[in-house]
Amino acid sequence: MEGFKIRKLSELEVRKQYHIKTANMFAVLENLNESEDINRAWENIKENIKTSAKDSLGLHELKQHKPSFDEECLCSSDNRKQAKIRWLQDPNQSNVDNLNNVKREASRHFGNIKMEYLKTKIVELETNSKIKNIRDLYSGISDFKKGYQAITNIVTEEKGDLVTDFHRILTT
């Protein structure tokens, strides 16, 4: 899934460039014949908007949450997805065995990468302890203790009641 740098639309030049590119794409679409299927026309409109956004805004790079997840992990994950797709399309015994083998290899690879990452993190904490770098030591320890913390966006009233109505959230 691709995301675009929407915040760049606040810049006047980028907004003008995006507007010009989409206007040019729609001008080309108007010249197409009217007998074309509506689904095909909609796909053309969608693709034109995506290409003009990619050209003028650029793609938004997704944040990497796991520092140990590298290109090899991405390749293992892709191989696992492809094996699952092959199994779903043709559920014979060879595809089942292939899927199980690929899943096992991917799981091993992810485990080994995570173990290496944790070892380097522990060594880093030990060196922080030895050189008396207390701030980094305790921040690293608290990261281990807390783990991943999900961010929740909950709105409550002054009484402490949960606000779920959209219009009340805007006024609170």
Q: 132: alpha, beta or left, given left = phi > 0 and alpha = psi -120 to 50?
A: left
User: Residue 97 pLDDT > 90, yes or no?
Assistant: yes
The Cβ of residue 105 has, within 10 Å, a number of other Cβ atoms equal to 14
d(CA 112, CA 22): 47
d(CA 25, CA 1): 22
Query: Is the Cβ–Cβ distance between 51 and 18 less than 8 Å?
Result: no
User: Residue 154 pLDDT > 80, yes or no?
Assistant: no
Paired tokens of 38: 């509506």
Query: Is the Cβ–Cβ distance between 141 and 125 less than 8 Å?
Result: yes
Whole-model pTM: value is 0.47
The residue ranges of DSSP E strands in 18-124, in sequence order, are: 59-60
Give residue-wise pLDDT tens across range 125-153: 889 888 888 888 888 888 778 776 776 66
What is the pLDDT averaged over residues 53-68? 72
Domain borders along the chain are: 3-60, 71-146
pLDDT of residue 68: 73
Task: Please name the residues in contact with 140: beta carbons below 8 A apart, sequence gap of 6 or more.
Answer: 121, 124, 125, 128
